């Protein structure tokens, strides 16, 4: 498998030891790094600012010998390059005598171009304007006997595979209008920054935030390489802090203060970035700068493995502390949306069908929080359980336990007789078919809405994002409500939210009820269990959803990468193999991926008529805001693609 086919390109930021004022030795260190096996499959290698001379040379930059040695060192580095791109920093004296600080882009034995630094710090410990001029207005053609012909200018893009990158240098990023924001509008998906940023208390945190925000604002990847400890002199110490972020997410950073050098190796996904830019109309409609030149050749690199990892549960934060903060925020969004809906409807109560399952349990907790926001009593929540022909004793007991433990108003209405009469009126055969199942779902919905009218309330929906994506709901039944609080919460996140509430917010009785529900298999409970199947425990649940439509963790992975990142089925399949290695074999992943796409396309008509519900994350299927798709879209080409996968 060649992962470059899916848009991945491997990068490295490297800070080898520096001999201040000795370009020849620094060139040797850089070439040695280029030849190390750990960087053999890297497409771009980035070195720090003025890495050829050393950043802290001070007045040595004025010396003719230093300038000549830097030219010789650049020639040595350029000659050592192959198809991999190497970006190094060096001083350069223009033919008119001005001295610039520049990043040199080298490939296949040549210098493709040089980008001058435009913003020079001249405050605190920095004194760069003593030596260097701004490169803002420089557009200079070089024809050098050893280095060949190249352009020195800021408005340059360089090809890396099928993507493009641009260069900025250290303080340029700190400028109120950084060059990188112009570069990305010109088409750069990757920004590389050669830096010499010294260490101060908390500066590393600031630097991380700056790189993250730059990558988010530019909808780009951002690779940052800073000078290491051997640059340290007099009052300043450097740490060798390397960072990599992709559209607001920090994906890699180096350990600091390593005297023998530091590095990071990472991959960016230019296909994902182009998708994000296409969807982001603010970026897509921003003004494009003129005058940019492009250098290099389309040489798709080979990448037979990825170092980048993919979370099998992309909707759920892996860090427990981060998840606690996220869980609280999600519940606040849900409950605030519901409270506002209740106010707008002038309703006195909330009507919620509780089944003893996960989704209705999360909706129940949201209802409690919404009533608390409105300073209403919990008795204003009518938790109604509607046992029918397929309801197990276990889930019925769980529903009762949930309502009583929280002090909600519990109402119980059996639907067996009404469903039986309805099926009799249809001359139904009595089989446990889709008519039998949907009759129960629609009978429950009818009761919920009629009860809401009776109580001057609104019906709170429970169906989650995963079920809506798969069409695992009955049209004009559990698909419908007055306001669906779970509409943009995927199943994997529902599970974690309920567990977090049980462990961190619920009292003892409510916690016991929640943990009992968490231990119950996920089921629609529309087909009766066999007689004496489980004697009232969770084993008497007849239908197991995940044995019918597949594991929700797989489907949530598919949903995230299809809707959030715009990946095609082949790329999702490749990434799922990495994320679920050792848990699901390729045949299993392929089977459920095909079912996901088939059901996602077939059941769009159910999503077209969804009721309102709060958007809590970047993925939503609301037909009003986030997902507009024709009900008649043809999925056959995607299914054929999946069939052809190995």
Output the domain CATH number for residue 340. Answer: 3.40.50.620
Within-domain flag for 310: no
Same domain flag for 224 and 360: no
Residue 538 has pLDDT above 80, yes or no: no
Q: Write out pLDDT tens, residues 297-332.
A: 878 888 999 999 999 999 998 887 788 899 999 999
Asked if 406 and 502 touch (Cβ cutoff 8 Å), the reply is no
The predicted model gives 425-441 an average pLDDT of 94
Domain boundary among 295, 311, 338: 295
Within-domain flag for 468: yes
Within-domain flag for 309: no
CA 383 to CA 351: how far, in whole Å?
A: 6
Q: Write out pLDDT tens, residues 114-159.
A: 999 999 999 999 999 999 999 999 999 999 999 999 999 999 999 9
Within-domain flag for 446: yes
Q: Write out pLDDT tens, residues 377-418.
A: 999 999 999 999 989 999 999 999 999 999 999 999 999 999
Same domain flag for 377 and 265: no
Question: Which pLDDT score is estimated for 537?
Answer: 60
Same domain flag for 261 and 374: no
Q: Write out pLDDT tens, residues 51-68.
A: 999 999 999 999 999 999
Same domain flag for 50 and 161: yes
Within-domain flag for 246: yes
Q: Write out pLDDT tens, residues 197-243.
A: 999 999 999 999 999 999 999 999 999 999 999 999 999 999 999 99
Question: Which pLDDT score is estimated for 540?
Answer: 62
User: What's the token pair of residue 192?
Assistant: 């590389």
Residue 529 has pLDDT above 80, yes or no: no
CA 128 to CA 605: how far, in whole Å?
A: 63
The predicted model gives 273-282 an average pLDDT of 96
Same domain flag for 202 and 97: yes
Q: Which residues are catalytic?
A: 49, 117, 170
Same domain flag for 288 and 345: no
CA 473 to CA 481: how far, in whole Å?
A: 12
CATH number, domain of 70, equals 3.60.110.10
Same domain flag for 174 and 249: yes
Same domain flag for 288 and 168: yes
Residues in the chain: 646
Question: Which pLDDT score is estimated for 528?
Answer: 86
Chain position carrying tokens 């920054």: 193
CA 621 to CA 619: how far, in whole Å?
A: 7
Which of 93-107, 227-241, 516-530 shows the lowest mean pLDDT across its residues?
516-530
Taking every pair of Cα atoms in the chain, the longest distance, rounded to a whole number of angstroms, is 100
Helix (H) or strand (E) segment spanning residue 571 = helix 569-579
The predicted model gives 478-482 an average pLDDT of 97
Domain boundary among 295, 328, 363: 295
The pTM of this model reads: 0.94
Q: What percent of the chain has pLDDT over 90?
A: 93
Q: Write out pLDDT tens, residues 551-591.
A: 999 999 999 999 999 999 999 999 999 999 999 999 999 99
Within-domain flag for 445: yes
User: What's the token pair of residue 506?
Assistant: 């619920």
The predicted model gives 173-201 an average pLDDT of 97
The predicted model gives 245-252 an average pLDDT of 97
Within-domain flag for 329: yes
The phi-psi region of residue 436 (left if phi > 0; otherwise alpha if psi is between -120 and 50; otherwise beta) is alpha
Residue 536 has pLDDT above 60, yes or no: no
Chain position carrying tokens 């209740």: 342
Q: What percent of the chain has pLDDT over 70?
A: 98
Q: What is the number of domains present in the chain?
A: 2
Within-domain flag for 308: no
Same domain flag for 338 and 240: no
Asked if 575 and 561 touch (Cβ cutoff 8 Å), the reply is yes
Identify the domain containing residue 90 by its residue range.
3-295
Residue-averaged pLDDT of the chain: 95
Same domain flag for 272 and 386: no
Question: Which pLDDT score is estimated for 297?
Answer: 86
Same domain flag for 246 and 341: no
Same domain flag for 291 and 334: no
CA 320 to CA 326: how far, in whole Å?
A: 10
């Amino acid at each position: 498998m060649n992962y470059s086919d899916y848009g991945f390109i491997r990068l490295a930021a490297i800070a080898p030891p520096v001999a201040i004022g000795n370009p020849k030795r620094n060139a040797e260190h850089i070439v040695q790094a280029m030849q190390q096996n750990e960087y053999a499959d890297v497409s771009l290698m980035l070195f720090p600012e003025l890495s050829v001379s050393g950043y802290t040379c001070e007045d040595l930059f004025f010396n003719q010998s230093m300038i000549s040695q830097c030219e010789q060192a650049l020639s040595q580095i350029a000659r050592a390059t192959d198809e991999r791109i190497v970006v190094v920093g060096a001083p350069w004296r223009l033919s008119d005598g001005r001295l610039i600080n520049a990043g040199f882009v080298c490939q296949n034995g040549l210098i493709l171009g040089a980008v001058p630094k435009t913003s020079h710090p001249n405050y605190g410990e920095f004194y760069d304007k003593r030596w260097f001029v701004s490169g803002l207005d420089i557009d200079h053609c070089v024809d050098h006997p050893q280095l060949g012909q190249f352009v020195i200018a800021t408005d340059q893009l360089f090809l890396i595979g099928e993507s493009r990158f641009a260069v900025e240098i250290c303080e340029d990023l700190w400028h109120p209008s950084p060059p990188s924001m112009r570069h990305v509008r010109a088409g750069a998906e990757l920004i590389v920054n050669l830096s010499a940023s010294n260490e101060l208390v908390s500066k590393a945190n600031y630097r991380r935030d700056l790189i993250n925000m730059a990558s988010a604002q530019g909808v780009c990847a951002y690779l940052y390489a800073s000078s290491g400890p051997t640059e340290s002199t007099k009052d300043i110490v450097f740490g060798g802090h390397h960072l990599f972020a992709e559209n607001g997410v920090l994906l890699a950073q180096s350990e600091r203060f390593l005297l023998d050098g530091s590095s990071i190796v990472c991959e960016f996904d230019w296909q994902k970035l182009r998708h994000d830019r296409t969807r982001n109309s603010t970026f897509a409609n921003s003004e494009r700068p003129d005058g940019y030149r492009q250098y290099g050749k389309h040489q798709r690199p080979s990448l037979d493995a990825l170092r980048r990892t993919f979370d099998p549960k992309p909707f759920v934060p892996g860090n427990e502390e981060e998840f606690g903060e996220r869980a609280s925020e999600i519940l606040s969004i849900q409950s605030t949306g519901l409270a506002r809906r209740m106010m707008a409807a002038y309703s006195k109560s909330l009507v919620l069908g509780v089944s003893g399952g996960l989704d209705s349990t999360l909706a129940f907790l949201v209802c409690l929080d919404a009533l608390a926001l409105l300073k209403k009593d919990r008795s204003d929540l009518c938790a109604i359980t509607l046992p029918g022909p397929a309801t197990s004793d276990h889930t019925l007991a769980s529903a009762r336990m949930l309502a009583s433990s929280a002090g909600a108003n519990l109402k119980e209405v059996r639907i067996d007789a009404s469903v039986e009469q309805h099926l009799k009126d249809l001359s139904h055969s009595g089989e446990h078919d889709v008519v039998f199942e949907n009759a129960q779902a629609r009978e429950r919905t009818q009761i919920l809405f009629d009860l809401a009218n009776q109580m001057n309330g609104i019906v709170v929906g429970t169906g989650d994002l995963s079920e809506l994506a798969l069409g695992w709901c009955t049209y004009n039944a559990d698909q419908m409500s007055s306001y669906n609080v779970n509409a943009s919460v995927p199943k994997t996140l529902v599970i974690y939210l309920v567990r977090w509430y049980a462990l961190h917010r619920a009292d003892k009785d409510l916690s016991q009820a929640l943990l009992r529900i968490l231990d119950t298999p996920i089921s629609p409970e529309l087909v009766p269990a066999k007689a004496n199947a489980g004697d009232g425990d969770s084993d008497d649940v007849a239908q197991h959803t995940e044995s019918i439509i597949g594991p929700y963790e797989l489907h949530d992975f598919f949903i995230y990468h299809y809707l959030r990142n715009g990946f095609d089925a082949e790329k999702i399949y490749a990434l799922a193999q990495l994320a679920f290695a050792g848990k699901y074999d390729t045949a299993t992943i392929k089977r459920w991926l095909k079912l996901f796409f088939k059901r996602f396309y077939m059941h769009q008509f159910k999503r077209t008529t969804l009721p309102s519900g709060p958007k809590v994350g970047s993925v939503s299927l609301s037909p009003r805001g986030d997902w507009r798709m024709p009900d008649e879209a043809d999925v056959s080409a995607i299914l054929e693609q999946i069939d052809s996968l190995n």
